[in-house]
Amino acid sequence: MRYRTLGRTGIKVSAYALGAMMFGAIGNPDHDDSIRIIHKALDAGINVIDTAPVYSNGESEEIVGKALKGRRDTIVLATKVQPRTLVSGPNPTADDPNRGGNSRRWITTAVEDSLRRLQTDWIDLYQIHRPDPDTDIEETLSALSDLIHAGKVRAIGTSAMPASDIVDAQWVAEQRGLQPFRSEQPTYSILSRGIEAEVLPVAQRHGMGIVVWSPLAQGLLTGRVRRGQQTDLRRTAIFSHMRDERRLDAVEKIIPLAGEAGLPMTHLAMAFAIAHPGVTSALIGPRTMEQLDDLLAGLDVTLTDDILDRIDEIAPPGTDVGTLDMAYRPPALQQPGLRRRPADERSAA
């Protein structure tokens, strides 16, 4: 296993990180089986586990907490602050609009809930799951800084944060003497390379670690989803990006490239994700032991410059081929003044 430093934190993390989204009701509901998968990943040298309270409404955190009994000290444990949206299953914010988001009011409650479910006294990396335009970033950073000072959190990070917001947050942290964000967790794959344009360069300039999610493009880069073929791939029907013609066209070009390289599609995709100098770790999200075994078999794969150049021809650097279903989309502007001049000024013009 290769280990890298998470930004400037001094924390060493494995190039593959274990994502726990598929442990629980929305993925593998068998707790014992999920724990076996976690233990095998740890035995293989993975030392990062990333979860979130929205994954099966806290069940994922509970499973991870059980799995880490007796092994907590050697693991870099990451979880997130529940956003107002992106909730799987029954929406807990339906009756309480303050149950979610990045306010101090919610963060101080949410961290205690996560600590209880994870059965731990501290979280190594606590991330805001999505930007919250309704909350001043200074309030968020102040609340997170207090958690670090209290010893409940070791480092803080973001997820799906636009480059401009990252710059703003780092400036606020410096000017107000608050703890800065140490990491960002964006989506990144052969098909989703948009972060190469701004997010990765900005994160590198600010010394932030990058832990990317969905390096397999939610299953498209497994090679099991093909143009014009019926598939029984789990959950395919609800993922519209798997019917995106542009993405399917790209996959049809990547499949023979993987064959020429003598690699399974999954190994090609994972090796690509960790090849960028700005990427620290790439999350794998196995639901079954077989999926984990396949991914672990590609740990030592390194892509040649020729293969990377061929990938660039299929999916140009800094661009997205279509849009991933779970990618963050900023909310539409609600204030007319942000998108049009007042009526009297328009008529005068």
Which tens digit of pLDDT belongs to each residue from 200-224? 999 999 999 999 999 999 899 998 8
- Catalytic site residue 55? yes
Q: What is the mean pLDDT of residues 328-335?
A: 62
Residue 148 φ/ψ, nearest 5 degrees: -65, -45
Query: What's at 46, amino acid-wise?
Result: I
* 116: pLDDT strictly greater than 90: yes
d(CA 49, CA 324): 23
Please return the burial class of 298, using the count of CB atoms within 10 Å of its CB with bins 0-12, 13-18 and 19+.
middle
- Residue 188 has which token pair? 């990144």
Q: What is the radius of gyration, based on Cα positions, of the chain? A: 20
| Confidence grade of residue 82 (pLDDT, cut at 50, 70, 90) | confident
How confident is the model over 272-279, as a mean pLDDT?
97
pLDDT per residue as tens digits for the range 126-155: 999 999 999 999 999 999 999 999 999 999
Q: Assess whether pLDDT exceeds 80 at residue 331.
A: no
Band the pLDDT of 238: cuts 50, 70, 90: very low
Q: How far apart are the first and last CA of the chain?
A: 64
Model pLDDT, residue 135? 94
CATH of residue 12's domain is: 3.20.20.100
Q: Which pLDDT band holds residue 228 (cuts at 50, 70, 90)?
A: low
pLDDT score of 322 more than 60: yes
DSSP conformation letters of 246-271: HHHHHHHHHHHHHHHHT--HHHHHHH
Residue 284, SS3? Answer: strand
Whole-angstrom CA distances from 46 to 38, 49, 266, 279 are 9, 8, 17, 16
Q: CA–CA separation, 196 vs 323, rounded Å? A: 15
DSSP, residue by residue, 95-153: S-TTSSSS-HHHHHHHHHHHHHHHT-S-EEEEEESS--TTS-HHHHHHHHHHHHHTTSE
The pLDDT assigned to 99 comes to 86
pLDDT for the residue 172: 98
Report whether pLDDT(86) > 90: no
Q: Does the structure show a pLDDT above 70 at 334?
A: no
Contact predicate 158/189, CB 8 Å:
no
Domain range for 334: 3-348
* Structural domain count of the chain: 1
Out of 55, 126, 188, 328, the active site residue is 55
Where does the pLDDT of residue 234 fall: very low under 50, low under 70, confident under 90, or very high at 90 and above?
very low
